[in-house]
Amino acid sequence: MRRLLSELKSRRESMVRLLERFARSESPSGDKAAVDGFGRIVAREWRRRGAKVRILGQPRVGNHVRAELWLGEGRPAGQILVLGHLDTVYPLGTLRGMPFRLSGGRAWGPGTFDMKGGLVLALFAVDALVAVGARLPKRVVLFWNSDEEIGSETSRRAIEHEAQRSDAVLVLEPAFGRAGKLKTARKGVGGAEIIITGRAAHAGLDPGAGVNAVHEMALQIARLMKMDDPHRGITVQATVACGGTVRNVVPDHARAEVDIRYARPTDQGLLNRKLEALRPILRGARVRVRGGANRPPLERTDAVTKIFRHAKLLMRELGLPLGETATGGGSDGCFTAALGVPTLDGLGAVGGGAHSSKEHVMIRSLPERAALLAGLLLTL
Ligand SMILES: [Zn+2]
């Protein structure tokens, strides 16, 4: 571990330069051309390191990138899957108001922390392994999807397929907090859309002829609020609501978006059944529900605890602490953990401000995190 770390410390500047290149290639989930452009940059880096790269073409979202690397002799004794995403939540042009910059020992910019920093760590972890002449016991498959920030709809099956062939999954999502804790438990996540149809009428001349869709929506939201159960790890929140056209017309249309999170796997079905059971309250109104809870929680199972302890020991060899935490945010690690494959999440960069104008990574910790990843690839 110490040799890996000293190799990586000597590469810190190059890590920052590559992070800058990555951050300057904007890649919002909704812009296929932009994500594809960034995917090509990442693919080139892996090819340069001798990986076999396959581009998984997608018609609507950006292409996914799969890289396979074998640093060993003979036949690999298994497979380790490393997961990350190419997309960010920042629309094209964000860089103009939020440029990549270095200050206070941090690298700032859109996507630096979530999760281009993680993508950089993986590349340099491999560089360090090569530099020390390490032979890996297992084949490494790196899967970079393009739609994580919008629910991984087009990549979920491929991720699950790779996970089923893997002995462990390492997820390069950002670490938690300044201490860089790993995420050994995550809530399941879902999103639902509630679409209400009423009947329009003049609000003053003929109000009785109308069915007020906004009122119906308010009543439905009150019902959704009753599904909220924080003690059980369930949160259900209406996060977007809109409806109506002008003040003096009884609105015939309204819609709400609902964010759903749950700690227990069995609550996924329960919440979906409750959503499907929503019925109109006002006479003449119609209620339609789209979506629901779909990403399972990452449970802190024995397999997760065991792989975390292993990571902690690796960091102890460097004299560094490693903590763990539970989070309400979901990730693709939830899919792989639900299949029973040991999954370690939050192995990405240390920093803060994900999805905000304050997004940054701590430069000092880049070599340490890359060393941890390299150590895991070497010993799992
Ligand atoms: Zn992310």
Segment 293-322 shows an average pLDDT of 94
Ligand 1 centre from 182 Cα, in Å? 14
pLDDT, tens only, 125-146: 999 999 999 999 999 999 999 9
CA 330 to CA 122: how far, in whole Å? 21
Ligand 1 centre from 357 Cα, in Å? 15
Residue 314 pLDDT > 90, yes or no?
yes
Ligand 1 centre from 314 Cα, in Å? 24
| pLDDT given for residue 115 in this prediction | 96
CA 325 to CA 334: how far, in whole Å? 15
| pLDDT given for residue 72 in this prediction | 84
Residue 206 pLDDT > 90, yes or no?
no
pLDDT band at 329 (very low <50, low <70, confident <90, very high): confident
Ligand 1 centre from 89 Cα, in Å? 9
Torsion of CA 344, 345, 346, 348, to 10 degrees: 80
Ligand 1 centre from 287 Cα, in Å? 33
Contact (CB, 8 A) for 138 and 76: yes
What's the whole-model pTM score?
A: 0.88
Residue 73 pLDDT > 90, yes or no?
no
- Span between the terminal Cα atoms of the chain, in Å: 14
Ligand 1 centre from 85 Cα, in Å? 7
Ligand 1 centre from 117 Cα, in Å? 10
CA 327 to CA 298: how far, in whole Å? 10
| pLDDT given for residue 269 in this prediction | 94
* Per-chain residues with Cβ under 5 A from ion ligand 1: 114-115, 173
Ligand 1 centre from 353 Cα, in Å? 12
| Residues of the chain above pLDDT 90, percent | 94
Ligand 1 centre from 64 Cα, in Å? 15
pLDDT band at 112 (very low <50, low <70, confident <90, very high): very high
| pLDDT given for residue 330 in this prediction | 85
CA 274 to CA 169: how far, in whole Å? 33
| pLDDT given for residue 179 in this prediction | 94
| pLDDT given for residue 306 in this prediction | 95
Ligand 1 centre from 355 Cα, in Å? 9
Residue 92 pLDDT > 90, yes or no?
yes
| pLDDT given for residue 75 in this prediction | 87
Helices and strands in the chain: count of H runs, count of E runs:
11, 18
Ligand 1 centre from 359 Cα, in Å? 12
| pLDDT given for residue 207 in this prediction | 84
Residues 337, 341, 347, CA angle at the centre, nearest 5°? 65
How many Cα atoms occupy the beta-carbon half-sphere of 199 within 13 Å? 10
Contact (CB, 8 A) for 144 and 119: yes
Over its C-alpha atoms, the chain yields an Rg (Å, rounded) of: 23
| pLDDT given for residue 204 in this prediction | 86
Residue 101 pLDDT > 90, yes or no?
yes
What size, in residues, is the chain? 380
DSSP-based three-state secondary structure for 233: coil
Ligand 1 centre from 221 Cα, in Å? 29
Ligand 1 centre from 59 Cα, in Å? 22
Ligand 1 centre from 35 Cα, in Å? 14
Ligand 1 centre from 205 Cα, in Å? 52
Contact (CB, 8 A) for 289 and 192: yes
DSSP 209: G
Ligand 1 centre from 47 Cα, in Å? 24
pLDDT, tens only, 170-195: 999 999 999 999 999 999 999 999 99
Cα–Cα distances in angstroms (integers) from residue 221 to residues 192, 246, 291, 294, in the given order: 12, 22, 16, 20
How many Cα atoms occupy the beta-carbon half-sphere of 353 within 13 Å? 17
Q: Which residues contact 284 (CB under 8 A, 6 or more apart)?
A: 198, 199, 211
Residue 58 pLDDT > 90, yes or no?
yes
> Position 160: which residue type?
E
Ligand 1 centre from 114 Cα, in Å? 5
pLDDT, tens only, 233-289: 999 999 999 999 999 999 999 999 999 999 999 999 999 999 999 999 999 999 999
Q: Which two tokens stand for residue 21?
A: 């290149």
Ligand 1 centre from 231 Cα, in Å? 26
Contact (CB, 8 A) for 227 and 236: yes
Ligand 1 centre from 115 Cα, in Å? 5
The tokens 């497979």 sit on which residue?
Answer: 79
- Whether omega for the bond prior to residue 227 falls within 30 degrees of 0, making it cis, is no
Ligand 1 centre from 118 Cα, in Å? 9
Q: Sign of the CA dihedral 317, 320, 325, 331?
A: negative
Question: Which stretches within the chain are classed as H helix?
Answer: 2-9, 12-24, 32-48, 94-97, 117-131, 156-164, 213-227, 267-276, 302-317, 333-338, 366-379
Segment 19-30 shows an average pLDDT of 97
Ligand 1 centre from 370 Cα, in Å? 17
Instruction: Of 4, 148, 160, give the one whose Cα is nearest residue 81.
Output: 160
CA 140 to CA 323: how far, in whole Å? 25
What mean pLDDT, rounded, does the chain reach? 95
Ligand 1 centre from 332 Cα, in Å? 9
CA 167 to CA 87: how far, in whole Å? 26
CA 101 to CA 103: how far, in whole Å? 7
Q: Are strands 139-145 and 79-85 parallel, antiparallel or unpaired?
A: parallel
Ligand 1 centre from 103 Cα, in Å? 23
